[in-house]
Structure 1
């Protein structure tokens, strides 16, 4: 009996040790970092460079691509398959046996390895078997109608009447599949206006992003923003421009999809997009060892959540569906909606009441509110791959409905920073003064958000003054009497913070004599919002 037990144990060990594992391999360095930063056009599009300069965002080592030589060497290692890469994390997603992956630490360019199964690392986390996409896959009924309720609920129609329809705003949609987007009539106007900019399928590694028919989820998501059917259906940003990226493999749930998502976000950043909408969320996986627990939803654990936070740092407004776990044991928002740096969107029904499936905030989100706001996701109108108007449930649709509305809002206040846009949206919402874990700050009124922004701009422009400009030594600042204090930050043209100081009515002078001569950006912020202006430090 003992021999049989030992034999069974040895067979188990052999099978387990040969099981395929997923892991992130973090690298030590990158090539030509200084040269790339000095010549950013070599690694970023001009639109991306312009966006970063406008927002005072530093171009840094994270913008430099991963060392391709290192990738080639990893591909040559026995038992290792390279699946994805990230310049932001300087990491490679690999698959192989535990033994083969651990052997990679002997390579001189490998810094450390993080297994998707936390039990193979030093930390552990719990599991759950709920599939949060089940709700969205239920088609409620065939309905041949229009989008009036979901548009008017957030006052996008008033922005459209003022000719703010998203024109000039570029949105990247990161989702599960986009069949028929390049051929169906609902997107004819989008294509004729050259606003469908293309994309990439990171799952199948092909530029034919419309080829996969495994899921039309992305097609439906895009329709809520970009589709137009005369007299029948109008998206919330019909004149915005769109890239579409497939990162979700509908046939399985595996952490590599998080890596695909980060790759897509990096591509979006390089292309200079303004907004990312993603109606994807990750909580549990087919391999339970890879699954997260609700307590992990704090914006710091999941790879995709940390990637979403970097996208926000890079100046992109990231808008994410909260998830469909509200009626399950999981309950809380998933990743990347748990990131404090993204705008997470829950769902309400046509009456503006909480939709039972919409994921909620929890104690895991310490110091910040999730979801942020809500829009219609109960029986929302969408268009499927057959060019048919239907109704579906899901925060997957409340997110893009609001995303398109925000694109139209941003067109109306183009100088606003992403963080300002988020603040205006929250401030305009129906329960801003009493947020909860069901609706967050409530249903936004995007027309009111525009007015809030313009009102603040007017206050700052008429009552805020700084002089002299150009300045040699002391920059004097006058602030509105209605504002107790302002935080002032001075940046170089490359986004480097040079001076940070709080000014009040009686302490309103900033010494800039230590700055070299040249053009600088000055950002003034109150509790409500912030604005950025330019001044010149003169040597004469």
Structure 2
């Protein structure tokens, strides 16, 4: 009997070892990618129906009315059913990548590869997750009579980034949905987290809705995520306050930290898709992937190019759909690797490094550049002796070091910005954070654009478009200002400055309706105000803000023709367009590379006559149109509207076609 049991165990063990998780990529989705997607198609409707209303609103704000991309279309059910008939256990359906992750035995690999609808099959890599350096000193709730301010020990980490000042103005992250990807969250029992607004949570490791430790978890599984959640979302008066404590939250458990602290890439991608569909505004992950199990291929520094790992590509796909994305830079500064880790290499993610309470760079904080030469990290926040909640307790807290603790502080600053200015696109949020950080004049690969500041981000001017007009918003937190003395000074193409009074004022925020200029016109501007003694203050003190009329990003220190914040799109030329004479019309635009460009050409009746999509190259790009529609027939004379989406940012142009 015992021999039979032993034999059975050997057989089961051998079978289990032969199983591995793979990505199975499909060749198509049943719709030709080159053909404009019809809104009446069943695939389009399935994609729309998968989105919550908040996701649709966020996409419309960032993408306009064309809210569905090809990647959003569902996977083909007949392909999934064929895999299931083979006994394949599908784990995650990843429509963004037109693939599934599935548990596959070795004897099925060649069979799957031979299927006519399968493009490729690749192992899902199991990744080493490195814990933060946790300090042993723990503090209990009843030890806080020594702290007189309402933040307790969390004051230091927030004050370094000017968060308490912004909180004092009633800006606390409300109406913003933040998604956290981590090891698990013991939030329901801890007094600093139990009152927080958790909209949804999901365990992508064990496929259930419980993110706190369960019987199959190892002790300490949810320690890391609980700490991270408390740093951004915690609230316990006079003990711990998070950087965006009144935001709402989505919690995704994506890691399994048993033994060698394994993480699987498909969990991360599936969690981002889940969050995006639910309408998340901001995501933050405290993960870094570069090393793998013995016997598996590791990533190399050459792979830190933003285009190789599933997690980095998933982050950029989320950004393309209007999500502001943050991640920790990594804790590799003292190791042989030293560089940032995926997904910090993604093109549009804000990778966050660490500094101490005196704003000195932490030695463990990973550095840049990416392999293709982009500056990383983007910003830094406090990541040494950061205070947070201790999982497994109701009232205990701990300190920790690591970029895992700086990322939630920075993401919280973005939540404060978006809470105050909900009209901001994710592109604007990213631009403002980089422009307003302390080192934006000379960014480098140790601290990036510098220490993130909630005050500077909120005070940085921003633009919103309303009914064809452009409104300029500006906050002045200086309590000594005379509100009636504030002036805006604008110069067009280097001409002399013209001064204007602001149109409206409310709660420290001034709003000005910009005069009408031609699209693409370069403007420079600054502000002045007097204090109660009549002393004049200029903002900025020694330079001007810059913008192109018709675009939403405002620049100060960053170069107009560099980095992935440059979304300049030229006018159409020639205009009017005579197809028989001019052959083609052109649009030029700049890109940092690997950005999605989409052009919809609309006739006067509102019908789309042509769709052009491409992935941008670094630097200057050119798009041409020969005047024909999708059926290769020359369009009629009339007015045509060019609706352009570049990396989630919208542009509108008008063209007159004459035959």
Q: What is the match of residue 138 of structure 1?
A: 134
Q: 1:274·1:317 contact (CA, 8 Å) conserved in 2?
A: yes
Work out whether residues 381 and 390 of structure 1, in 8 Å CA contact, stay in contact via their aligned partners in 2. Answer: yes
Counterparts in 2 of 1:447 and 1:536: CA distance versus 1, 3 Å:
farther
Shift of 1:41: 3.9
Q: How far apart are the structure 1 equivalents of 2:424 and 2:268?
A: 26
Q: Partners of 2:546 and 2:402 in 1: how far apart?
A: 43
After superposition, the C-alpha distances for 1:344-380 in whole angstroms (9 at most, x for unaligned) are: 0011111111111111113x44242111101011111
Name the SS of the counterpart of 2:173 in structure 1. Answer: coil
TM-aligned CA distance change 1:484 to 1:390, over 3 Å: closer
Shift in Å, 1:105: 1.7
Aligned equivalents of 1:210, 1:254: Cα separation in 2 = 17
- Taking a change above 3 Å as real, the CA distance of residues 162 and 484 of structure 1, as seen in their structure-2 partners, is closer
1:429 Cα deviation from its structure 2 partner? 1.4
Equivalent position of 1:262 in the other structure: 269
Matches within 5 A, 1:49-68: 49-56=56-63, 58-68=67-77
Task: Go from structure 1 to structure 2 and tell me whether the alpha carbon gap of 1:295 and 1:43 turns closer, same or farther (over 3 Å shift).
Answer: same
Q: CA deviation at 1:138?
A: 2.8
Summarize deviations over 1:320-354 as a string: whole Å, max 9, x none: 01111110011111111111210000111111111
Tell whether the 8 Å contact from 1:489 to 1:522 is kept in structure 2 after alignment: no
**Superposition pairs for residues 124-135 of structure 1, below 5 Å?**
133-134=130-131
- Deviations along 1:468-523, whole A, 9 cap, x unmatched? xxxxxxx8786646688737589xxxxxxxxx95269xx99999996435698989
Q: Within 2, Cα distance between the matches of 1:415 and 1:142? A: 41
| Contact 2:383–2:402 (Cα < 8 Å) also in 1 | yes
1:280 touches 1:396 (CA, 8 Å); kept in 2?
yes
Does the C-alpha gap of structure 1 residues 64 and 209 become closer, same or farther in structure 2, counting only changes over 3 Å? farther
1:153 and 1:524, CA in 2 relative to 1: closer, same or farther beyond 3 A?
farther
Residue 346 (structure 1) aligned with residue 314 (structure 2): no
2:387 is matched with which residue?
Answer: 381
Deviation string 1:28-58 (CA, Å, 9 cap, x unpaired) is 3336983242565422111111111111263
Residue 256 of structure 2: aligned partner: 249
Equivalent residue for 1:185, pick from 176, 183, 191:
191
Task: Tell me by how many angstroms 1:95 deviates.
Answer: 3.5
Secondary structure of 1:186 counterpart:
coil
Q: Which sections of structure 1, spanning at least 5 residues, go unmatched?
A: 1-14, 118-126, 467-474, 491-499
Q: Any idea what SS the aligned residue of 1:138 has? A: strand
Structure-2 residue corresponding to 1:465: 516
Conserved? CA contact 1:155–1:446, under 8 Å: yes
Helix, strand or coil for the counterpart of 1:357? coil
Partner secondary structure for residue 189 of structure 1: coil
Q: Mapping of 1:255-294 within 5 angstroms? A: 257-294=264-301
Number of the residue aligned with 1:418:
426
Instruction: Give the corresponding residue for 2:560.
Output: none
**Alpha-carbon RMSD:** 3.8
Picking from 447, 454, 458, the partner of 1:450 is 458
Q: How does 1:37-52 map to 2 (within 5 A)?
A: 37-38=44-45, 40-52=47-59
Q: What is the 5 A alignment of 1:106-255?
A: 106-116=114-124, 133-134=130-131, 136-143=132-139, 145-179=152-186, 181-190=187-196, 195-212=197-214, 214=218, 215=221, 216-251=223-258
What displacement does 1:382 show?
0.9
2:378 corresponds to which of 338, 360, 372: 372
Query: Over residues 385-434 of structure 1, what are the superposed CA-to-partner deviations in whole Å (9 max), with x where a residue is unaligned?
Result: 11312101111110011111210111122211112111111111121122
Larger fraction in strand: 2
CA deviations on 1:91-146 (whole Å, 9 max, x unpaired) are 112343444223202223212223457xxxxxxxxx9x9x5614x15334224542
Cα distance in 1, alignment partners of residues 343 and 249 from structure 2:
21
Among 575, 584, 604, the residue aligned to 1:516: 604
CA distance in 1, matches of 2:379, 2:473: 24
Alpha-carbon contact 2:177-2:248 (below 8 Å) kept: yes
> Which stretch shows the higher mean deviation, 313-322 or 405-414?
405-414
Partners in 1 of 2:233 and 2:336 — Cα distance? Answer: 35
Question: Counterparts of 1:521 and 1:45 in 2: how far apart (Å)?
Answer: 29
| Count of aligned positions | 483
Residue number in structure 2 paired with 1:486: 548
What's the CA shift string for 1:164-189, capped at 9, x where partnerless? 1000100111111112x122211233
Map residues 92-107 of structure 1 onto 2, 5 A cutoff. 92-107=100-115
| Whole-angstrom CA distance in 2 between matches of 1:517 and 1:100 | 54
Is 1:331 aligned with 2:338? yes
Listed one character per residue, the Cα deviations across residues 214-263 of structure 1 (whole Å, up to 9, x for unaligned) are: 31211111000111111111101111000101111111569872101111
Match of 2:22 in 1: 23
Residue aligning to 2:398? 390
Partner of 1:91: 99
Alignment CA distance shift 1:513-1:299 (3 Å):
closer
2:570 to 477, 502, 507: 502
Once the two structures are overlaid, the 10-residue window that deviates more, 258-267 or 201-210, is 201-210
Distance 1:115 1:429, change over 3 A: same
Whole-Å separation in 1 of the counterparts to 2:347 and 2:312: 9
Query: Distance between the aligned counterparts of 1:38 and 1:74, measured in 2?
Result: 25
CA displacement, residues 285-311 of structure 1 (integer Å, 9 cap, x when unaligned): 223423212221111111111111111
Structure possessing the higher radius of gyration over alpha carbons: 2
CA contact (8 A) 1:476 1:509 kept: no
Q: Which moved more, 1:423-432 or 1:32-41?
A: 32-41
